[in-house]
Amino acid sequence: MLRIVLTHLFLFLLPFFCYALWLWLSKRGGHPDRWSKGPIAWLTLAGLVLVIAGLAGMAMLERGPQGMDFTPSGMQDGVFVPGRFE
């Protein structure tokens, strides 16, 4: 679960990091007006789009084979049986 949260946090912060890197490379990072409301709104929107795309991508990858049902793990006759697709 922590890996999923960190992945989506990274995806959200990626546009902010790229913008900060661009400001640093263009030597304009010392001006606080560069982080005004305009860029922050667009960076937030870009971060949200990346998170939504990441969620959709993970949902597509986590999907099981077509036409098969998932049987969750459990105990049968005192033996642990892992989850499987049937």
pLDDT of residue 68: 82
pLDDT of residue 63: 73
Q: Are 66 and 85 in contact (CB under 8 A)?
A: no
pTM of the model: 0.66
Q: Where are the domains of the chain?
A: 1-27+39-44
39 — pLDDT class (breaks 50, 70, 90): confident
| Average pLDDT in the chain | 86
3-state helix, strand, coil in the chain (%, to 5): 65, 10, 25
